Structure 1
Amino acid sequence: MQFLQFFLCITVLLLYCNVSRSAFLCELNQANPFKVALTSTVDIAGKGNFTTIQSAVDSIPSGNTKWIRIQIFAGVYREKVTITYDKTCIFLDGAGSRETFIEWDGHERTNTSATFTSYAENLVVKGIGFKNTYNLGPKQNDLVPALAAEILGDKAAFYNCSFFGVQDTLWDVGGRHYFYQCYIQGGADFIFGKGQSFYEQSVLYYSLETYGQGTYIGYITAQGRDSADDPSGFVFKDCVILGKGKAYLGRAWKAFSRVIIANSKLSDIVVPVGWDAWQFVGHEDQLTYAEEDNSGPGADTSKRVPWQKKLSEGVKGNGHVKFKCPTFLKFKVKAMAVTLSDDEVSDNESDKTGLGFVKSIFVPETHSPNFVPSSKPPVSEIVKQAEVTPPRKIRVDL
């Protein structure tokens, strides 16, 4: 097993709490076009190696260190799927987020309700839709936490995927995660957790379905950073936020909650104040919410809460935020570095205020499966459809 050392790149970094961190690299098979050890197929019609996704996952040896591709044919897979800690290096390859769906209606408890749960490191998912159907559609079940996905393992990447729910749709529990050209729908804290995560070119669609639509103000994020040295935070770059009704961009689930939204399009669903301190009124100085270079009627920050942070010129650079996210599937060496002072987000290496946010993934290209997301119309073109089309009709497999 190979190990990779992760290093801090500026003076005060809370991302790794000033300690180095290692993680193993999955082995490649250079003779295979996908660079994987093997590919197994799942077909609900019985024409693959397996008829359920869970059985395909279970077939992977415990302690696996080689990339294994599970190709999932089109269909609605009515099952709960769990990837345990020992099932590492999995590439779930769906037929498209409008073609391959995993659905369930769990709702008993937050930590058991998820349709899809992954504990393992080194996960790549492409072209799959995840749904928790309990509160979707015309049914009048009580509105409860009903998760579409729960992601706990480090180094997980989702490309061209969709997530559907109402309350707590996506539990970004913890670890370094990347979401690219994804569609995420919900109405109450529908992206929550303490993941150290980057969301890029994705659509966040606010909808309470039939639960208080038009009367209840919902919440898009509920980030759970719980201390000054917690490395977690959500970054949304080049995203689109729209939907039906009114919503806060986020509320503080924990005392040091942190969310940055940049270069994104915000519709008029966003309430003017933008953010909610929730249970931490009086301690707003510990919260880090920042917006920069956004557009649309919801991007007006003139009436935002007075404790919202601001990006410094050093981070913005030429009028455009300079965040860079890791592309897990290419595994290029990229880093996003932002250090926070009490009043601003800056890239000043001399900042010693005790707040910092650096997202760095150092993984060599030679240890990645041979997959590059398809080149299709940018998310901005898809959003034009979203503004006039019911959310389930939106093409999300970009």
Structure 2
Amino acid sequence: MTEYIVSKQDDGQFKSVQEAINAIINDGVENATISVKEGCYEELVTIPKGIKNLRLKGEGSDKTKITYGNYAGIITKSGEKLGTNRSASVFIDVDNATFDGIAFENSYIQEGFDTSGRQAVAVNSTGNGLIFTNCAFYGRQDTLYVREGSCLFQDCYIEGDIDFIFGAAEAVFARCEIHSRNCGSKELNGYATAASTKAKDEYGFIFYQCNFTAPSEVAPNTVYLGRPWHPSAATEPVCSATILMNCELGKHIKEEGWTYMGQVWPETERFFEYQSTGKGAKQNEHRKQLTEEEACKVRTLIETKLCKIN
């Protein structure tokens, strides 16, 4: 396997991550590892399709960070807003790639619930077979956009406030911390997820043994587990799907669990839990539970995914 080293110092071949990606493309190398040394890399990164078996490895999510500060409300040279889809710090369109020990951040900060341009994505992914281990994702609104494809997150940290995990991909989150930032409200402090799963797809987001947390100052009963996102630009039917299995939920989670978006209500979507624990775990008419048979099927899918990296 060919190694490309990125460093802020003089002990690497490249000073930026994008330079290393471009070199792999130009060299036509397969099975390449990009080792990113400790440092904060302020840059836009795009990893296109076509690279074979890429591995992007940092020195730990507390040491290696890729960050940028775009946001949806930026006015481009053409006079249009940048938009959510183009606001990401890192775009991942490659298939069958692994990422380990890296923090991905969108550094744009705007307080409040202004949905006209506050969206600021850290990672926008469309690839199939993506694996993230020991990574961190930092942002506020729309932090992690798993737009399409399939991906697995193991032992990762994901932080934000409004719809900060969203998209149409099949995404499994195993033993991750899902951290809601404080918006300062006594009534509503955001939504953890906003799945836009295609109706034909059996699964969307699956959270397994994850810990849903928030700072101690976040008011109890103020964060929804999620809401259904039916994009106006969708070209085929959408039926949002999110499952929480054996997750621990903090006191910040809303008693009703799920809520609506636009004209779409959670009762028409595929939102389920199974054996949630913690102060935010409730069972009521608003929070549907998997049957034992359904849970067994989901667990088999999770174990199949995990076998690829363990």
Of the three residues 277, 298, 301, the one matched with 1:295 is: 277
Compared CA separation, residues 283 and 326, structure 1 to 2 (3 A): closer
Q: Does structure 1 conserve the Cα–Cα contact (< 8 Å) formed by 2:34 and 2:56?
A: yes
In the TM superposition, what is the alpha-carbon distance from 1:213 to its structure 2 partner? 4.2
Provide the C-alpha distance between the structure 1 equivalents of 2:151 and 2:45, rounded to a whole number of angstroms: 19
Moved more, 179-188 or 107-116: 107-116
- Trace 1:147-158 onto structure 2 (pairs within 5 A): 147-158=121-132
Compared CA separation, residues 64 and 120, structure 1 to 2 (3 A): farther
TM-score by length of structure 1 reads: 0.66
Q: Does structure 1 conserve the Cα–Cα contact (< 8 Å) formed by 2:203 and 2:242?
A: no
- Trace 1:145-224 onto structure 2 (pairs within 5 A): 145-208=119-182, 211-224=183-196
In the TM superposition, what is the alpha-carbon distance from 1:84 to its structure 2 partner? 1.2
> Structure 1, residues 80-118: CA drift from partner, whole Å, max 9, x if none?
111012333210010000000011101132111111111
Compared CA separation, residues 205 and 258, structure 1 to 2 (3 A): same
Query: Within the alignment, does 1:241 sit opposite 2:241 as a pair?
Result: no
- Trace 1:32-71 onto structure 2 (pairs within 5 A): 36=1, 38-61=2-25, 64=28, 66-71=30-35
In the TM superposition, what is the alpha-carbon distance from 1:136 to its structure 2 partner? 7.3
| Counterpart in the other structure of 1:230 | 201
In the TM superposition, what is the alpha-carbon distance from 1:67 to its structure 2 partner? 1.2
In the TM superposition, what is the alpha-carbon distance from 1:60 to its structure 2 partner? 0.9
Which residue type is aligned with residue 241 of structure 2?
R
In the TM superposition, what is the alpha-carbon distance from 1:123 to its structure 2 partner? 1.1
Query: Within the alignment, does 1:331 sit opposite 2:269 as a pair?
Result: no
Compared CA separation, residues 47 and 321, structure 1 to 2 (3 A): closer
In the TM superposition, what is the alpha-carbon distance from 1:216 to its structure 2 partner? 3.2
> Structure 1, residues 51-78: CA drift from partner, whole Å, max 9, x if none?
1000000001369572110111000011
Compared CA separation, residues 93 and 326, structure 1 to 2 (3 A): farther
Compared CA separation, residues 84 and 63, structure 1 to 2 (3 A): farther
Query: Within the alignment, does 1:267 sit opposite 2:246 as a pair?
Result: no
Q: Does structure 2 conserve the Cα–Cα contact (< 8 Å) formed by 1:252 and 1:280?
A: no
- Compare relative contact order (CA 8 Å, sep 6+) and give the higher one, 1 or 2: 1
5+ long unaligned stretches in structure 1: 1-35, 333-371, 373-398
Query: Within the alignment, does 1:253 sit opposite 2:229 as a pair?
Result: yes
Provide the C-alpha distance between the structure 2 equivalents of 1:274 and 1:150, rounded to a whole number of angstroms: 26
Which residue type is aligned with residue 88 of structure 2?
A
5+ long unaligned stretches in structure 2: 75-82, 231-237
Compared CA separation, residues 213 and 51, structure 1 to 2 (3 A): farther
| Counterpart in the other structure of 1:93 | 57
Compared CA separation, residues 168 and 281, structure 1 to 2 (3 A): closer
Provide the C-alpha distance between the structure 2 equivalents of 1:167 and 1:88, rounded to a whole number of angstroms: 32
SS in 2 for 1:110: coil
Compared CA separation, residues 237 and 215, structure 1 to 2 (3 A): same
TM-score by length of structure 2 reads: 0.84
Provide the C-alpha distance between the structure 1 equivalents of 2:265 and 2:13, rounded to a whole number of angstroms: 57
Query: Within the alignment, does 1:144 sit opposite 2:118 as a pair?
Result: yes
SS in 1 for 2:151: strand
In the TM superposition, what is the alpha-carbon distance from 1:261 to its structure 2 partner? 0.1
Which residue type is aligned with residue 250 of structure 1?
G
SS in 1 for 2:302: coil
In the TM superposition, what is the alpha-carbon distance from 1:309 to its structure 2 partner? 3.4
Which residue type is aligned with residue 297 of structure 1?
K
Aligned-pair Cα RMSD in Å = 2.5
| Identical-residue share of aligned pairs (%) | 29
| Counterpart in the other structure of 1:343 | none
Provide the C-alpha distance between the structure 1 equivalents of 2:187 and 2:295, rounded to a whole number of angstroms: 37
SS in 1 for 2:24: coil
> Structure 1, residues 146-202: CA drift from partner, whole Å, max 9, x if none?
011111111101000000000000001111100000000000000000011100000
Provide the C-alpha distance between the structure 2 equivalents of 1:331 and 1:239, rounded to a whole number of angstroms: 19
Q: Does structure 2 conserve the Cα–Cα contact (< 8 Å) formed by 1:63 and 1:86?
A: no
